[in-house]
Structure 1
Amino acid sequence: MVKELTTDTKPEIIYPDSDGQPMADNTKQFRWIVTIKENLEILFAQVPDVFVAGDLLWYPVEGDNKTRIAPDAMVVFGRPKGERGSYKQWEEENIVPQVVFEILSPGNTPKEMRKKLQSYDDYGVEEYYVYDPERINFTGSIRVGEGLKTIEEVDGWVSPRLGIRFQLTPETLEIYRPDGRKFLTPVELDQAREQAEQRADREQQRADREQQRADRLADLLRERGIDPDRIL
């Protein structure tokens, strides 16, 4: 009689990289998500242990592939940059994303946003910011003790973790880097790059003209038997 061998191996748990939900419901929401994520990437580009992501699934609990959150943007201090299909917290030294952003769309309900706030509170997020670009409404929460507390005066608030400043105007939310430079859309960043290159080109052309004048003067002096190096 042959006795069958049995094992106690458990089936592998799959953590999908997508929840099937769209990144954004409209172009305005998408533009804000990209602008915040990309500017944060630029801000921390030279810091190797700061990971920035947009619309990335975060699994906070090992063995639980149902509990997952997808912040519109998140920043994780203490984790290296690099590609990820999702953020599995137990594979990241159990480091919780410290800062998260949500950009509202007309489809977001108050119940949904309360649930997100509770999740971020439960799992240890330090700073949580929500912007509604349709209503120009910006709110923030910061961890005080064991829980997230509303930031009462968020206009002009400076993020303790990021060092960026939030400024509300009647038309929009403005975000400023620690050096005072404003967060720009990718198009605005490209326009600024082009303008800087044009200024550099004009400066180079001016310097070239000055050098040409100096060279002509030196040639005239030599024609008259004068050593330009002695007087220039």
Structure 2
Amino acid sequence: MTTEATVGSQGAIFYPDSDGKPIADNTKQFRWIVVIQQNLEWLFADNPDVFVAGDLLWYPIEGNNKICNAPDVLVAFGRPKGDRGSYKQWEENNVAPQVVFEILSPSNRPTEMDKKLLFYDRHGVEEYYLYDPDTNELEGWLRIEGYLDLIESIADYVSPRLGIRFDRSGEELQIYRPDGDRFLSYTEIARRLEQERQRAEQERQRAEQAEERAARLAERLRQAGIDPEQV
């Protein structure tokens, strides 16, 4: 994607925070963007130097606001967490996002995706993953000897940077964390939390009932002249 160069009244170049395009073209594409971005955010929650973002404009070259792209998801190792209007690489210790994801929608054209691949190759991305949720097709590229090279066999492929595993054996892609847990949607996470809450509540109730039974038994023993502590 490109934007027109804009120069402020003082001669400063303006870098727009938005390209005016929607995050996604449909609910399926949006769901996948959110699932990948949020699960990666969760995966690296305890690492203050891993920045994860979705649909954030990335400007790789200072002084040129016509060269930019907004990956559906980007991961930058060595950069602090925090809010940004855009990712200006020269303000990020010149660290390019090492991993990017794109989720295809019917409106994407091969020429557009070829340009994205060229952009990521030219500007230092180490791993690039392209998923089509309509066909369950996953492609990946890994930087080898300075260039992004197609990953020939991506079945059960493990990302070198992220440590996540891609499983395309079912009807739709499954992604697994290094600990083996599957990437979950917010609904699935909320359902699991509710199940855990219900189990904890049931355990609490069982513990209270056990304490009540023990108290009643102790009282009967005392009424019979028996010290429950000596039983």
**TM-score when scaled to structure 2?**
0.93
> Secondary structure, in 3 states, of the residue corresponding to 1:83?
coil
1:58 corresponds to which residue? 58
Instruction: Write out the 4+ residue segments of structure 1 that deviate beyond 4 Å after TM superposition.
Output: none
Deviations 1:74-127 (A, max 9, x none): 111111111100000000111110110000001111111111111111111111
Match of 1:42 in 2: 42
Partner of residue 23, structure 1:
23
Q: Tell me how far apart the structure 1 counterparts of residues 79 and 230 of structure 2 sit (CA, whole Å).
A: 60
Structure 1 residue 157 and structure 2 residue 157: aligned? yes
| TM-superposed deviation, 1:169 | 2.8
Structure 1 unaligned spans of 5+: 1-8
Who is 2:182 aligned against? 182
When structure 1 is superposed on structure 2, of 59-68 and 168-177 the one drifting more is 168-177
Partner of 1:3: none
- Following superposition, the deviation at residue 203 of structure 1 comes to 1.4
Amino acid at match of 2:53: A
Look up the match of 2:5. none
Matched residue pairs, number? 223
Identity %: 61
Q: What's the CA shift for 1:221?
A: 2.2
Q: Which residue of 1 aligns with 2:33?
A: 33
**After the TM superposition, which residues 178-217 of structure 1 pair with which residues of structure 2 at under 5 Å, given as runs?**
178-217=178-217
Q: Does 1:220 pair with 2:217? A: no
Rounded Cα–Cα distance in structure 2 between residues aligned with 1:85 and 1:178: 30
CA distance in 2 between partners of 1:230 and 1:115 (Å): 82
Alignment of 1:4-153 (within 5 A): 11-153=11-153
Structure 1 residue 47, shift from structure 2 partner: 1.1
Match for 1:162: what amino acid?
L
When structure 1 is superposed on structure 2, of 59-68 and 169-178 the one drifting more is: 169-178
Distance (whole Å) between structure 2 residues aligned to residue 102 and residue 230 of structure 1: 70
TM-score by length of 1: 0.92
- The separation in 2 between residues aligned to 1:200 and 1:16, in whole angstroms, is 49
Instruction: Indicate the SS of the match to 1:158.
Output: coil
Cα RMSD of the aligned pairs, angstroms, is 1.4
Q: Given residue 168 of structure 1, which amino acid in structure 2 is its aligned partner? A: R
Measured after TM superposition, the shift of residue 224 of structure 1 is 2.5
Structure 2, unaligned runs of 5 or more:
1-8
SS of the aligned residue for 1:75 comes to strand
